[in-house]
Amino acid sequence: MQPYKLKTMKNLDNKSWEKAQKEDDNSVILDVRTPEEYEEKHIPNSKLINVQESQKFVDEIQKLDKSKSYYVYCRSGGRSAMAGNIMEQMGFEDVSNLEGGITEWHGEVE
């Protein structure tokens, strides 16, 4: 078995992530935090899939359209980087991680 190599996940800062997502008509925003964190505040139109519930996360990710672009975030960027790596291993080719997570986010929140 060959070691896994990071393929295409992009780590983008706040402005680059927001600009890329807004210009992408084929994008999905994924929040990979807990439901409690999501309730506190989240980026509008984001879909919650908690990466800490590993089997449920994999099950939910398998249902997603691999032809779309995924913009992933968490609280500070660690869990979303992990989620992005899992997604790439599952065949997703366009994944962007929000560096610094929602704590560095300067855009709109709900």
Q: What percentage of the chain reaches a pLDDT higher than 70?
A: 94
Among all chains, which residue has been given the structure tokens 């979303």?
Answer: 80
pTM: 0.92
Are 39 and 79 in contact by the 8 Å Cβ rule? The answer is no
The angle that helices 78-89 and 54-62 make with each other, rounded to 10 degrees, is 50
| φ and ψ at residue 11, rounded to 5 degrees | -100, 110
pLDDT at residue 1 is higher than 50: no
- Which CATH architecture best describes the domain 10-104? 3-Layer(aba) Sandwich (3.40)
Whole-angstrom distance, CA of residue 104 vs CA of residue 89? 27
| Confidence bin at 7 (pLDDT 50/70/90) | low
